[in-house]
Amino acid sequence: MADEFYLPDDVLEWVGLKKGELLAWVLENRDDGDIPFEEYEDFTEKVPEALQHADETWLQRWEGHQIQIQLKMFEEDQVHWLLVISLKAPVMNEQEVENDVLVPILIVPTKYTSWLKKWLSGEKVHTRHLH
């Protein structure tokens, strides 16, 4: 993956709109006893591990864009999962070489996976173990 890349403005706009839609869905559907939204940012340092060592990886197509959905279980003080929804986008780097890059749209840390099952569909490309 290139260190520096750019996405077309229309793709960046789509990512922003999709993030808003997904976040609204999460806030409406998450359990009140789940990880508070205000703490989601505390989980951002786990995104690289979730992307590189996901327990499950799914590919979907949304409005012509390829989406990669990954779920990773973490066992620390308590068990929790991190759902990462990313755009798998072809980008151009400064050398005008086209590569694919994952652009996280939304990360959702959760204590429960049952409410996330709707996202775990499409083409399953990886399973480490079942939850």
Q: How far is CA 51 from CA 10, 13, 90, in A?
A: 25, 23, 17
What is the amino acid identity at position 111?
A: K
What pLDDT score was predicted for residue 113? Answer: 85
With 0-12 / 13-18 / 19 or more C-beta atoms within 10 angstroms meaning exposed / middle / buried, residue 45 is exposed
The model's pTM: 0.84
Q: What is the pLDDT of residues 45-78, one digit of tens each?
A: 999 999 999 999 999 999 999 999 999 999 988 8
Whether the predicted pLDDT of 15 surpasses 80: yes
The full set of domain ranges for the chain reads 9-127
